[in-house]
Every structure is written in structure tokens, then in C-alpha cells.
């Protein structure tokens, strides 16, 4: 009974009734959030390309492609939808896990749930279990560390452990038994992929879409009798050895912490309010406060100093003069410039045209990123922003959490407003309200097909 077997047991045996009420509530919010940003993502260049690609592939019309007028196979729909959910980098992330689990899990449960006509409770249970498998496995051996080591080795957890989470979620909806789930995880060991070198490119958004597609494939093949290493996670030359570079893990401790508590509760979830990489979110809290409190105009700014922990500083300072909207999402300098010139960043600030805005470009060389901030036990991304004005005045602000963090939570209205921003011109006001209500009462729905079909357009 190694990790693979015991993880499979958790996935197979956890029921909707086993889920704590807060996990059910947050899972529904995560799926509503994913649906909204998927609709917005369908209008991005990458969303249009992946939609055209999936349409050309053909396949039985079983599952809705978000924002499209056609349906496709569950695997292909999940590929497109996962890509669109992540392309704007507007999806949530889990603290200390470097993981945004809904971008792989929602496309998976949407595709299979619609294909099979599952209940809302079944979809919610599969989603919650898939998220927990993805985040816990990605941090195996490092559950109390600030960052999981697989992320430190360059892997992107969305593609890597997102594949296992999607396999668990799809397997639950397909009704896999213990042996089949073990085989499915063995198959997933050879399908997990995704590298951070592709951040700020289209490939990053493809990682969760691919993970969802591969998860469905692994679960479906296992259901039909395909086999994989039933010790594939912990075995010699298996997942841990390849991705963590060692197999030194306390199996009992790891398994005992599955669902006790769920990661979306502790260390907690951050539902993003800013449509950019999370590396800048706490710094945005600080600079937005300064700009508002001191009524700073961009012409007054002589210099901006952003202090962050080393991990975020190295990433945020890598792109100083973004040439594309995607690069802008991962540029600390650009995010700070947007905050000074326009206030709270919005979707329209991260386009290929927006990054050439002369007002924003004029501030880029005035931003300096330093890495002298030290994370705390509860705040992994503290940031201090100091603005020096042309008249010599200097103002500074330190923040530990971004809005959306469990220490600074968003409200249901915040999520409703975000969904409206992302979807109103595609769904219209009445359907938009109906979709929000259906997600909020998902566990009362007997058949999810009408809900997921309503995310089509045309």
C-alpha cells in the first residue's frame, strides 16, 4: 500500500457527503470563477487558435467548448477549455503550492460531467478531490515549506500534478474502482509535463488544457483495461524520483494530511482580482494604496522601488519592457506602471497594444525590483513599495496579502462582478445572472448538462 494505491483510495472513496461544507462552498466559487475567465479567454488570440484547432480535429459532439458554437469530444473540449481558463492568468492559486488547480479540474469535470449527464454533487466531489490530489501531490514532502521543490526544479505544477488531479476527477466521474484508479495514476506518471521556461508565452496556458485532456485520457484508458505502474508515484524511477529528485517521503504523514484539511482551506486559496501573474499582486496592493492615498499622478514619479522575496523578484524583474500583453502579466515594472497611470489593473491593460502605451512605457525604467523582503509563516509574498516623487518626497507602504487571499477575502459580490466583467457581452445580462445562480446552487442540480451547455456562444 504505497502512495499511488493510497492516493487512489482517497480519490475513489471520497464522496460528496465527506466534503466539509467550506470545501463545497469554495469549490463552487472556483468553478464559477473558472467559467467566467474561460469565457473571457475565448476571445483571446490563444483562445481562438485552440478553438480552431479543436474544431479541425473533429470528434463526437459530446462536450461544450466555452465561447464556441460547436461541441467536441470530452478530451478535445477539455484541452480547449483549460487553455482558455488559464490564458488570462486570472485564475486562483493556492498558497505555498504554486498551483492553480481549477484551470485543469474545471475543464475536466465540465467535459465528463456534461458527457455523462452527472449531478452537481458528483461534479463538485470530483472537482474538490481533483484539486486536493493536484496540490497535495505537487507539494509532497514539502507541505510545510514556502514552495514545493518540483517548482524549484522548473516544473509548472499546472501541467505536472494537474494531470494527476484531472485523472482523479475524471476517474471519479467515470466510476473507476481502486485497481483502475491505480492504473490511471500509473498512466499519468508518463503524461505529466509543463515547464516554467514557457511562462509569458502561449505555451503556459496550454499546460492546464493538456493536463485536463491527458487526465481524461488516462482515466478512460484505465477504465477500458489499459495498465500503468501501480506504484508509479513512489516506485524506483517513478514520479517522485523524476520530479522531486528523491523518494524520501513519510508516506503515512502525506496520506494522513489528504483532506485534513483540504488545501483550498489551509494554507488557503487566493481568488484573483487582478488579471496578471500573482508575483505582482501584493505589490499592487501596496502601490494602489499609495497612489490613492497621496493622489499621485504618473508625471510626478521619479522612481519606484519594489521589495519582494527573492523568488518573486527574480521572476518579476526578468521582463522589464514587455512586448506582448502576455509578457506584461509577468513584468513587475509594467504592473506597477499600470497601477500608477490607470489604477486597478483591468483586462484591457494586458493586450499587445496596451504595452506600447507611451504613458506606461515612460515609467518602466523608473521601476527597480529588489529581493530583500523575507516571507513569514503566514505571508509568503510580502512586499514594500516606495515611490520617490520629483519634489523629493518619498512615500512607502508594506503589504503582506493581496485581496482575494484568505486573510483579505473577496466577497460573493466581488466574484459576481468579476464574472460579469468577463462574460456580460457574451452571455447577456439575464443568462449571466442565471449561470451565476446555477453555479451557486450546483450541489442541488440533478443534471449539469444545461448549465455547461449555457457556456457556449452562438
* Neighbouring-strand partners of residue 370: 307
CA pseudo-torsion sign 298, 302, 306, 312: positive
Here the cell at position 371 is: 529581493
The Cα 370–Cα 283 span in angstroms is 12
Residue 229: its pLDDT value, please?
98
- Measuring CA to CA, which residue among 90, 11, 5, 3 is closest to residue 43? 90
Annotation: CATH topology of 3-272+419-453: 2-methylcitrate dehydratase PrpD (1.10.4100)
| 309 touches 381 (CB < 8 A) | yes
The Cα 394–Cα 1 span in angstroms is 60
- Measuring CA to CA, which residue among 445, 62, 169, 415 is closest to residue 273? 415
Cα 382 off chain centre by: 20
**Max Cα–Cα distance, the chain, nearest Å:** 73
Domain coordinates of the chain in residue numbers? Answer: 3-272+419-453, 278-399
Residue 377: its pLDDT value, please?
80
**pTM beyond 0.75, yes or no:** yes
Strand order in the sheet with 383-389: 367-370, 301-307, 383-389, 394-399
Q: 406-409: which pairs have CB atoms within 8 A and are 24 or more residues apart?
A: 406/95, 406/268, 406/269, 406/270, 407/268, 407/378, 407/379
- How many residues can be counted in the chain? 458
| 343 touches 291 (CB < 8 A) | yes
Q: What is the dihedral of CA 397, 305, 406, 10, to 10 degrees?
A: -160
Here the cell at position 55 is: 474544431
φ/ψ (deg, to 5) at 330: -115, 15
- Measuring CA to CA, which residue among 131, 182, 175 is closest to residue 7? 182
The Cα 294–Cα 382 span in angstroms is 22
DSSP track, 219-234: HHHHHTT----TTTTT
Residue 441: its pLDDT value, please?
98
DSSP track, 377-440: SS-SS-EEEEEEETTS-EEEEEES--BTBTTSPPPHHHHHHHHHHHHHHHH-HHHHHHHHHHHH
φ/ψ (deg, to 5) at 422: -80, -25
**pLDDT tens for the chain, residues 1 to 458:** 899 999 999 999 999 999 999 999 999 999 999 999 999 999 999 999 999 999 999 989 999 999 999 999 999 999 999 999 999 999 999 988 989 999 999 999 999 999 999 999 999 999 999 999 999 999 999 999 888 999 989 999 989 999 999 999 999 999 999 999 999 999 999 999 999 999 989 999 999 999 999 999 999 999 999 999 999 999 999 999 999 999 989 999 999 999 999 999 999 999 999 999 988 999 999 999 999 999 999 999 999 999 999 877 777 788 999 999 999 999 999 999 999 999 999 999 999 999 999 999 999 999 999 999 998 888 888 999 999 999 999 999 999 999 999 899 999 999 999 999 999 889 999 999 999 999 999 999 999 999 999 999 97
Rg, Å, the chain Cα set: 21
Angle at 377 between CA 373 and CA 381, to 5 degrees: 40
* Neighbouring-strand partners of residue 397: 385
Here the cell at position 126 is: 470530483
Annotation: CATH topology of 278-399: 60s Ribosomal Protein L30; Chain: A; (3.30.1330)
Could you tell me where the DSSP H helices lie in 317-357? 325-329, 332-342
Per the listing, cell 475513489 goes with: 12
DSSP E strands in 91-227: the ranges are: 93-94
CA distances, 289 to each of 123, 318, 332, 337 (Å): 40, 25, 17, 14
CA distances, 58 to each of 6, 81, 85 (Å): 37, 15, 21
Residue 378: its pLDDT value, please?
82
Decide: residue 150, CB within 10 A, 0-12 exposed, 13-18 middle, 19+ buried.
Answer: buried
Report the relative pairing of strands 71-72 and 93-94 from DSSP bridges. unpaired
The Cα 76–Cα 220 span in angstroms is 14
Angle at which helices 45-57 and 74-86 pack, to 10 degrees? 170
CA-based end-to-end distance of the chain: 50
Residue 29: its pLDDT value, please?
97
CA pseudo-torsion sign 453, 414, 99, 258: negative
Q: Under 8 Å CB-to-CB from 175, ≥6 apart: which residues?
A: 223
Amino acid at each position: 500500500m504505497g502512495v499511488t494505491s493510497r492516493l487512489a483510495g482517497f480519490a475513489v472513496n471520497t464522496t460528496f457527503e465527506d466534503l466539509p461544507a467550506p470545501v463545497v462552498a469554495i469549490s463552487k466559487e472556483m468553478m464559477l470563477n473558472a467559467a467566467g475567465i474561460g469565457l473571457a479567454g475565448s476571445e483571446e488570440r490563444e483562445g481562438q487558435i485552440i478553438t480552431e484547432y479543436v474544431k479541425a480535429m473533429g470528434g463526437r459532439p459530446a462536450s461544450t467548448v466555452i465561447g464556441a458554437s460547436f461541441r467536441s469530444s470530452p478530451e478535445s473540449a477539455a484541452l480547449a477549455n483549460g487553455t482558455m481558463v488559464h490564458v488570462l492568468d486570472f485564475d486562483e492559486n493556492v498558497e505555498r503550492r504554486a498551483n492553480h488547480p481549477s484551470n485543469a479540474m474545471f475543464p475536466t469535470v465540465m467535459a465528463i460531467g456534461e458527457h455523462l449527464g452527472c449531478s452537481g454533487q458528483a461534479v463538485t466531489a470530483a472537482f474538490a478531490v481533483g484539486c486536493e490530489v493536484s496540490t497535495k501531490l505537487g507539494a509532497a514532502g514539502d507541505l510545510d515549506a514556502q514552495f514545493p521543490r518540483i517548482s524549484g526544479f522548473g516544473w509548472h505544477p499546472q501541467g505536472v500534478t494537474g494531470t494527476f488531479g484531472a485523472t482523479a476527477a475524471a476517474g471519479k466521474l467515470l466510476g473507476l474502482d481502486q485497481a483502475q484508479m491505480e492504473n490511471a495514476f500509473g498512466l499519468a506518471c508518463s503524461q505529466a509535463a509543463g515547464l516554467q521556461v514557457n511562462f509569458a508565452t502561449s505555451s503556459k496556458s496550454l499546460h492546464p488544457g493538456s493536463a485536463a485532456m491527458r487526465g481524461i485520457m488516462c482515466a478512460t484508458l484505465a477504465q477500458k483495461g489499459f495498465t500503468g505502474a501501480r506504484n508509479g508515484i513512489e516506485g524506483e524511477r517513478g514520479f517522485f524520483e523524476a520530479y522531486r529528485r528523491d523518494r524520501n517521503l513519510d508516506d503515512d504523514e502525506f496520506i494522513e494530511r489528504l483532506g485534513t484539511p483540504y488545501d483550498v482551506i489551509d494554507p488557503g486559496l487566493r481568488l484573483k482580482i487582478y488579471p496578471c501573474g500573482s508575483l505582482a499582486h501584493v505589490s499592487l496592493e501596496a502601490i494602489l494604496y499609495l497612489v490613492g492615498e497621496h493622489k499621485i499622478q504618473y508625471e510626478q514619479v521619479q522612481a519606484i522601488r519594489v521589495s519582494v522575496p527573492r523568488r518573486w523578484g527574480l521572476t518579476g524583474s526578468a521582463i522589464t519592457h514587455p512586448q506582448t500583453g502576455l509578457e506584461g502579466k509577468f513584468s513587475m515594472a509594467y504592473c506597477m506602471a499600470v497601477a500608477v497611470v490607470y489604477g486597478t489593473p483591468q483586462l484591457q491593460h494586458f493586450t499587445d497594444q496596451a504595452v506600447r502605451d507611451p504613458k506606461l512605457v515612460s515609467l518602466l525604467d523608473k521601476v527597480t525590483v529588489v529581493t530583500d523582503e523575507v516571507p513569514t509563516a503566514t505571508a509568503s509574498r510580502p512586499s514594500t513599495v516606495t515611490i520617490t516623487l520629483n519634489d523629493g518626497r518619498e512615500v512607502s507602504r508594506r503589504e503582506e496579502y493581496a485581496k482575494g487571499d484568505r486573510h483579505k477575502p473577496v466577497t460573493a459580490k466581488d466574484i459576481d462582478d468579476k464574472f460579469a466583467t468577463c462574460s456580460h457581452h457574451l452571455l447577456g445580462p439575464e443568462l449571466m445572472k442565471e449561470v451565476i445562480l446555477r453555479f451557486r446552487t450546483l450541489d442541488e442540480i440533478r443534471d449539469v448538462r444545461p448549465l455547461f451547455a449555457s457556456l457556449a456562444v452562438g
